[in-house]
């Protein structure tokens, strides 16, 4: 197999992202890798994404990447139960001069919030919250994605057959939801802790 370390180190982040990573480190909050961020921005841009949902705001690292790829008037809806992280994410967005109206931060449990989002209204859904809840997130993502929209699930490395246990079971269950749905075209991408992306038919 080719050594692809360079893939994770090839992306250079701007000052706003580096500052957000500083906040993440201070608070002990996990954040996506630069390569995962660059892919999210690419997907948002190719989709012309105006409406994006994220589960797992953290301190806003993935949010900044998503916003970078979205249309200039696009709105990111991002959900996280940790109030302190979301306050830090607000700082990350403000420091990057993101207009307040471009982000909708919802402090709460994604399991309770996702069912309240509209059907077929979003071009991109990024799932980076509680891995054990991935199956329930994916069910909602399938519903809220517009035709042609893409769901991206983080921590898909548990699909490796050598992984066992509740997390691996949850990720497999989530993957099967899109794999068994004829409307979806799934692919596993070895970036970060593994990504599963699936595009909904137009």
Ligand X SMILES: C[S@@+](CC[C@H](N)C(=O)[O-])C[C@H]1O[C@@H](n2cnc3c(N)ncnc32)[C@H](O)[C@@H]1O
Q: Nearest approach, Cβ of 30 to ligand X (angstroms)?
A: 4
Among 67, 69, 85, 136, binds ligand X (CB under 6 A): 85
Give CA angle at 85 (122, 104), nearest 5°: 30
Q: Which residue is nearest to ligand X (CB)?
A: 58
Tokens linked to 145: 């994605």
- Helix, strand or coil for residue 12? coil
Among 74, 110, 186, 194, binds ligand X (CB under 6 A): 110
Element (H, E) at 64: helix 61-69
130 binds ligand X (CB under 6 A): yes
Among 34, 69, 74, 129, binds ligand X (CB under 6 A): 129
Residues 65-84, mask of contacts with ligand X (x by CB under 6 A) = ---------------xxx--
Residues 27-56, mask of contacts with ligand X (x by CB under 6 A) = --xxxx-----------------------x
Binding footprint of ligand X, residue count (CB under 6 A): 20
- Kindly state the DSSP code that residue 193 receives in the 8-state scheme: T
Cβ-Cβ contacts under 8 Å for 102 (sequence gap 6 or more): 67, 73, 74, 75, 76, 93
User: How long, in residues, is the chain?
Assistant: 202
Residue 159 near residue 196 (C-beta atoms within 8 A): yes
61 binds ligand X (CB under 6 A): yes
Give CA angle at 138 (128, 193), nearest 5°: 35
Q: Nearest approach, Cβ of 182 to ligand X (angstroms)?
A: 29
Q: Which residues of the chain form contacts with ligand X (CB under 6 A)? A: 29-32, 56-58, 60-62, 80-82, 85, 109-110, 128-130, 133
């Amino acid at each position: 197999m080719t050594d692809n370390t360079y893939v994770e180190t090839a992306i250079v982040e701007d000052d706003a992202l580096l500052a957000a990573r500083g906040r993440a480190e201070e608070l002990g909050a996990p954040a996506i890798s630069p390569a995962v961020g660059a892919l999210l921005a690419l997907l948002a841009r190719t989709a012309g994404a105006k409406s994006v949902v994220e589960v797992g705001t953290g301190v806003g690292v993935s949010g900044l990447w998503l916003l970078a790829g979205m249309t200039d008037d696009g709105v990111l809806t991002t959900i996280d139960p940790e109030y302190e992280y979301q306050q830090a994410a607000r700082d990350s967005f403000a420091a990057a001069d993101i207009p307040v109206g471009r982000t909708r931060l919802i402090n709460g449990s994604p399991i309770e919030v996702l069912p309240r989002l509209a059907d077929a209204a979003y071009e991109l859904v990024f799932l980076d919250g509680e891995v054990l809840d991935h199956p329930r997130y994916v069910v909602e993502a399938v519903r809220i994605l517009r035709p042609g929209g893409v769901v991206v699930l983080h921590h898909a490395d548990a699909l490796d057959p050598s992984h066992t246990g509740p997390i691996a079971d949850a990720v497999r269950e989530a993957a099967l939801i899109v794999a068994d749905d004829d409307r979806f075209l799934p692919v596993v991408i070895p970036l970060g802790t593994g990504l599963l992306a699936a595009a909904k038919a137009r």
